[in-house]
A and B are shown apart, each in its own frame.
Chain A
Amino acid sequence: MPKNQYISPSDAFASGFLSFDKIPLCQYKKTLAQEKKLYTKEDFLRIYRDMRIIREFETMLNEIKTKSVYNGVEYTNPGPAHLSIGQEASAVGQAYCLDINDFTFGSHRSHGEILAKGLSSIEKLTETELYDIMKEFLGGNILKVVEGKQEKQGDVKELAIDFLLYGALAEIFARTTGFNKGLGGSMHAFFIPFGIFPNNAIVGGAAPVALGAALYKRSNHKKGIVIANSGDGALGRGPVLEALNMASMDQIRKLWGMDGKYDDGGMPILFNVFNNFYGMGGQTRGETMGFDIAARLGAGFNPDMLHAEKVNGYDPLAVIDATQRKKELLIKGEGPALLEVATYRVSGHSPSDSSTYRSQEEIEEWKAACPIAAYRSKMVAGGIATEEEFDAIEEDIIKRITKICRMSIDEEISPRMDLDSQPDIISSIMFSNQSVPSMDTQREAEVLIPKEENPRLKQIAGKARFAYDEKGELIPKIKQFGLRDGIFEAIIDKFYEDPTLIAYGEDNRDWGGAFAVYRGLTEAIPYHRFFNSPISEAAIVGSAVGYAMAGGRAIVELMYADFIGCAGDEIFNQLSKWQSMSAGILKMPVVVRVSVGSKYGAQHSQDWTALTAHIPGLKVCFPATPYDAKGLMCAALNGTDPVIFFESQRIYDIGEQFHEGGVPVESYEVPFGEPDVKREGTDVTILTIGAVLYRGLAAAKKLEEQYGISAEVIDARSIVPFNYDKVLESVKKTGRIIIVGDACDRNSVMRDMASNIAEMAFDYLDAPPVVFGSRNWITPAYEFEKYFFPQADGIIDVISQKILPIPGHVSTVNESEIEHMERSKQGL
């Protein structure tokens, strides 16, 4: 909502017609004679070779999957193989235009794209560059396997082709010598040194991720373009449409660039749709979609209509022609772009597909139109090369693929991970656990004003960094340094330290975030580092994933934790998994700030820590004090792992009541995983998660004053990781523990902790670990919240009912076991 963009009623109500430009459909008309001016004979033959390599590679996989034998090599592969036989010209045509600065992202059906991009990169890199890449990748482990096994020794490019084919196939066969040590597999293979970014087993999952890589190039002024490859089926997915929209945001060309200082233009991304007409078995044209022509989508996103175009994907030269033009547009700053590449897979969705959804005639007709055979005929007819020359290429390819296949199944040279001798091998890559304060120490951070001139920092300077004065009196809240100030300080410091840091989300700029955490950032940080995103949670989180993959650090915000579901795949499958699926090659320095609401009812008041804590690969924290919030944010921002950073709207203004000396001005870290004893006691332990800390403390005070029971209050602070040492130490002392949080009781983090504590401290317990969370209801209106969220008195009631009966205490809530059994019976 920039104030300089004025919305007037007369504009809003202006009469007229909206018109659209024409979208070109298969307009490639060049003759071979014309093309001969652009390509040498070697170029023409290489295009054939690359298509033929992909065809043979996938034929081999199909033979292995369906017959367990290829060319005499016997093997059974239980893993997936989504083949793209028939689509080779589309992949090779696209890759022909790209170099290693251009990043590609793919789908579950991307073997062809990977190989095409790899072969194109091999062609463009020098022999020295190539050899260095192979030597350095995974300590030269893949190179060691393939080196010396070529007929023609000393030819680095030949060696590199073996390297590429072997690394990909070993990955598909889950071997440690695969590109990702076998942890990615067929649907997630990639090779960053060649600019081949991850494929994605989630249909359309790569689109927002690719957008993030483009955002990295755009915000950090990097060379190259990004291509988000997907099938036509993916166009039905929200994240893809969100990515198309977010890439097209007006602000990129209208507001970014620091008043002309940078002229990077639009988002350098090409959404490339390999339209093979089927999303698995669903026919997109005529059945599951209404677009008729996929390129039509471009008209919906911006006045440029995304430069949309449809091209014949069975003609590699047509694809090259179109892709080259799109690339030039993007480099000129006129992105984003959309290209529909019409193609067809004659193979099934997977080898088990019996093609019940299409006729045999249709398949046969497409087979007859085979892009490889057609290209070869055209070349022979045009006098480019003879049949014998093509035969020789083909023979060489079959020999090569047979050799690669044999090597990939050899247990000696291509072993699988040994989880017997190295049981922690996967544990060791779930998190990268590094401390990298700046992702790019070479560049200065781009900012608008010196940090000391920041109006928010000036305002904060007058605040009390500890909640109590020297006499121990509580300072008025308005004068206290609040939790939101702690988060702000950590973030603005990082903005000046790490030039790659960007932050975005809904209403972040100008407004300062819905809860004023970012007030003061607008004045300091330029648009291309700090902006308002569209209301597109999937694209917000997904793009942060791609931004980190490309080498940057991002903080994204979901205004309410309740919106986690809108970014479900991006949090649960993308953010959490790429570090480990890449065998530790990728880092994921992304902080997702999520705010837990109150007062706003059922869809705006939920603590969903359990959903994120359940997913392996995410760090999760929920600080409740300014000191902890700032320290954990510093730790999150120095780290290289994805963090879901929960904040509570109940306590954004709370001052620091615990850390003596108050919240330090300088940066410091609160380590992840360490709970903190906020109040010492001897009779019962109250473990709190998030803002309920203050209700836990109130309960402890009342227990002491009214009943002489000394309660120890421990603030979990982190949820993943979580070190139980302090909690167990406390339980060994008190023998009793209640775990309290605002999340709904069932399947909550509290339940998980209770179960762990029962196992780990059983012999010390004087009562079972007891959980007191919210009811398994919708969150009612604010006026009824005390019936829903745990309150201080309720904590005492539960202690008296289940742990330590308190003589004379009168309960107001019924949390008895019988009551819980009854509720459970009813699903409550």
Chain B
Amino acid sequence: MANPVIMPRQGQSVEACIITAWHKKVGDAVSEGDLLFSYETDKSAFDEKSPVSGTMLAILAAEGDVVPCLDNVCVIGAAGEDISAFTGGAPAAEEKKEQVPAAAPAVQKEAVPTTRREGDVLRISPRAKALALKTGVDMTRVSPTGPHGRIIQRDIDAALDSGYHGTVADVEAFLAGGYQNSTAVEVAQSTAVGAVQQGQGDAVFVTGGTDFGLYEEAPMSGVRKAISRSMCASLTEMAQLTLNASFDATSIMEYRKQLKQNAEALGLPKITLNDMVLYAVSRTLPAHPYINANLVGDSFRLFRHANIGLAVDTERGLLVPTLFGADTMSLAQIAAASKEAAERARSGQLSPDEMSGGSFTVTNLGSLGIESFTPVINPPQTAILGVCTITNRMRADGSVYPAMGLSLTFDHRAVDGAPAAKFLAQLCSMLENFQLLLAK
């Protein structure tokens, strides 16, 4: 069977390329990998090699021609083969098979799969289009079998059955190249929706572009609603701002290494860097009563102990169990308690009581590579600490050290910048001298 060679699409914004040179003539023997033709875009030049072996049966564009991407450029096959299907000349083979009975002269030609040409309107049924967008099949690469070259549902199904697995990028490519009126904003929206989608397993991404208004309703879960209410209240009712700092994590990393090597022997639980931060926070907070506090109306609740909320990402959404009296716990106890609280959060076993009563919250996006962020305070607390990732930094002398970022958001109604900064500085200092802190 003859094989068409198409003009490749070199990048999503490229619509057509210019053939600069042919390296084969019609009738030439061609081996797989042979150089067929050279072409260029307005930015670069490329060579196209033959994907198959055979005889060059037809060259469909001359040197200097501008060929739309994905259009056939030449046909390679066995000598003498019918290539009309690729050249758009004689009727396709399928049509020829259809014998018209003499008794019924007014027979209608059945539609035949055709390849869409640049400039053609992309004909696709609303149903097929919705399915393509849902599955990510690139509509421009689907062979239409509907009436008048219309892509219909079975064509998308066929593409999927043949192992085609589309991606959001495919849809993006389609939107960018296939539709004149699709804008960059719409593309951005569609990818944004797609990305959000990954975080919310149950809803189905359909589209974000205005051309494609399809979507599915995904009702807010109870947890989501609670988070929504709490976060909105937090941001509308408080005067929040974030301070970013980092500390030299050499000390805690070193200590963690020691623990790793000896924990089993000592019967200690697995202790993470986050546990150490929690420990440091629990020992720092008592000296900063307005940060270890709740602000309710016009009065503060200044907690005697550090009740640290632990932000846990669960399938149902963000949950914040409280480690009551963390300042009274050893590092090992904090590690065990935080591990248990996180597990209970993920398995949905937390009671409402376990998720309230916090005086301060620690949230950690460091494991996801976040270098700094603005955590949102969990009302009615007055501050929250965000734990960031570790990056390498250079000292003035050229030596490199691991720096861990901390982002402290605090409520300026409750605390001024200087005392908050002092808290953060003290925390950094304690973490840099962690082994000393352990004495506390």
Minimal beta-carbon separation of A763 from chain B (angstroms): 5
Question: Which chain B residue shows the least CB distance to A767?
Answer: B125
| Complex Cα spacing A815 to B104, Å | 13
Assess A804 versus B126: contact at CB under 8 Å? Given A810-B99, A810-B101, A810-B107. no
Central interface residue in B107, B108, B126, B128, by most chain A CB within 10 Å: B108
| Complex Cα spacing A763 to B127, Å | 6
B127 touches A765 (CB 8 A): yes
B298 within 8 A of A: no
| Complex Cα spacing A802 to B101, Å | 20
| Complex Cα spacing A812 to B107, Å | 6
Q: Can you list 29 A-B contacts (CB < 8 A)? A: A762-B126, A763-B126, A763-B127, A764-B130, A766-B127, A766-B152, A766-B153, A797-B108, A801-B108, A801-B110, A803-B147, A805-B110, A805-B111, A805-B145, A805-B146, A807-B110, A808-B98, A809-B110, A810-B98, A810-B99, A810-B100, A811-B104, A811-B107, A812-B104, A812-B107, A813-B106, A814-B106, A814-B108, A815-B108
* Tally of contact residues, B, Cβ under 8 A: 25
B147 touches A764 (CB 8 A): no
Known: A801-B110, A814-B107, A814-B108. 18 other contacts (CB 8 A): A762-B126, A764-B126, A765-B125, A766-B126, A766-B153, A767-B150, A804-B152, A805-B110, A805-B145, A805-B146, A805-B147, A808-B97, A810-B98, A810-B100, A811-B107, A812-B104, A814-B106, A815-B108
| Complex Cα spacing A735 to B152, Å | 10
- Our pick among B97, B108, B127 for the contact of A811 (Cβ within 8 Å) is B108
Residue interface bits B91-115, CB-to-A below 8 A is 1, else 0:
0001001111100101110110000
A735 touches B153 (CB 8 A): yes
B21 within 8 A of A: no
- Our pick among A762, A764, A767, A814 for the contact of B146 (Cβ within 8 Å) is A767
- Our pick among A765, A806, A813 for the contact of B110 (Cβ within 8 Å) is A806
A800 within 8 A of B: yes
A816 within 8 A of B: yes
Central interface residue in B94, B97, B106, B127, by most chain A CB within 10 Å: B127
Question: Which chain A residue shows the least CB distance to B103?
Answer: A812
What is the interface of chain A mostly: helix, strand, loop, or mixed? loop
- Residues of B near A811 (CB, < 8 A) are 104, 107-108, 110
B188 within 8 A of A: no
| Complex Cα spacing A180 to B231, Å | 60
- Residues of A near B125 (CB, < 8 A) are 735, 765-767
| Complex Cα spacing A807 to B106, Å | 18
- Residues of A near B97 (CB, < 8 A) are 808
Minimal beta-carbon separation of A369 from chain B (angstroms): 74
Central interface residue in A735, A801, A803, A813, by most chain B CB within 10 Å: A735
Residues facing B in A740-765 (CB within 8 A) are 762-765
- Residues of A near B146 (CB, < 8 A) are 766-767, 804-805
A766 touches B99 (CB 8 A): no
Minimal beta-carbon separation of A741 from chain B (angstroms): 21
A767 touches B147 (CB 8 A): yes
- Our pick among B106, B127, B147, B214 for the contact of A802 (Cβ within 8 Å) is B147
Question: Which chain A residue shows the least CB distance to B213?
Answer: A763
Central interface residue in B100, B101, B125, by most chain A CB within 10 Å: B125
| Complex Cα spacing A284 to B111, Å | 66
Chain A positions within 8 Å of B, measured between CB atoms, are: 735, 762-767, 797, 800-816, 819
Question: Which chain A residue shows the least CB distance to B147?
Answer: A802
| Complex Cα spacing A804 to B99, Å | 19
Question: Which chain A residue shows the least CB distance to B112?
Answer: A805
| Complex Cα spacing A627 to B311, Å | 66
Closest 8 CB pairs of A and B: A814-B106, A766-B127, A766-B125, A735-B127, A766-B153, A805-B111, A816-B108, A766-B152
- Residues of B near A810 (CB, < 8 A) are 98-101, 107
Minimal beta-carbon separation of B315 from chain A (angstroms): 31
- Residues of A near B214 (CB, < 8 A) are 763
- Our pick among B98, B130, B152 for the contact of A767 (Cβ within 8 Å) is B152
Central interface residue in B98, B107, B147, B152, by most chain A CB within 10 Å: B147
Residues facing A in B338-354 (CB within 8 A) are none
- Residues of B near A801 (CB, < 8 A) are 108, 110, 147
Residue interface bits B61-104, CB-to-A below 8 A is 1, else 0:
00000000000000000000000000000000010011111001
| Complex Cα spacing A766 to B145, Å | 12
- Residues of B near A814 (CB, < 8 A) are 106-108
Minimal beta-carbon separation of B216 from chain A (angstroms): 12
Minimal beta-carbon separation of B195 from chain A (angstroms): 24
- Residues of B near A764 (CB, < 8 A) are 126-127, 130
Question: Which chain A residue shows the least CB distance to B129?
Answer: A763
- Residues of A near B126 (CB, < 8 A) are 762-766
Question: Which chain A residue shows the least CB distance to B151?
Answer: A766
Question: Which chain A residue shows the least CB distance to B97?
Answer: A808
Minimal beta-carbon separation of B212 from chain A (angstroms): 10
Minimal beta-carbon separation of A84 from chain B (angstroms): 61
Minimal beta-carbon separation of B164 from chain A (angstroms): 19
Question: Which chain B residue shows the least CB distance to A812?
Answer: B104
- Residues of B near A806 (CB, < 8 A) are 110
Question: Which chain B residue shows the least CB distance to A802?
Answer: B147
- Residues of A near B130 (CB, < 8 A) are 763-764
- Residues of A near B101 (CB, < 8 A) are 810
| Complex Cα spacing A806 to B110, Å | 8
Question: Which chain B residue shows the least CB distance to A803?
Answer: B147
Residue interface bits B188-228, CB-to-A below 8 A is 1, else 0:
00000000000000000000000000100000000000000
Minimal beta-carbon separation of A756 from chain B (angstroms): 16
Question: Which chain B residue shows the least CB distance to A816?
Answer: B108
- Residues of B near A809 (CB, < 8 A) are 110
- Residues of A near B110 (CB, < 8 A) are 800-801, 805-807, 809, 811
Minimal beta-carbon separation of B6 from chain A (angstroms): 25
Question: Which chain B residue shows the least CB distance to A806?
Answer: B110
Question: Which chain A residue shows the least CB distance to B144?
Answer: A805
| Complex Cα spacing A148 to B255, Å | 101
| Complex Cα spacing A115 to B106, Å | 68
Question: Which chain B residue shows the least CB distance to A800?
Answer: B110
- Residues of A near B147 (CB, < 8 A) are 767, 801-803, 805
Minimal beta-carbon separation of B214 from chain A (angstroms): 6
- Residues of B near A802 (CB, < 8 A) are 147
Question: Which chain A residue shows the least CB distance to B98?
Answer: A810
Question: Which chain A residue shows the least CB distance to B145?
Answer: A805
- Residues of B near A815 (CB, < 8 A) are 108
| Complex Cα spacing A802 to B111, Å | 9
Residues facing A in B146-166 (CB within 8 A) are 146-147, 150, 152-154
- Residues of B near A797 (CB, < 8 A) are 108
Question: Which chain B residue shows the least CB distance to A764?
Answer: B127
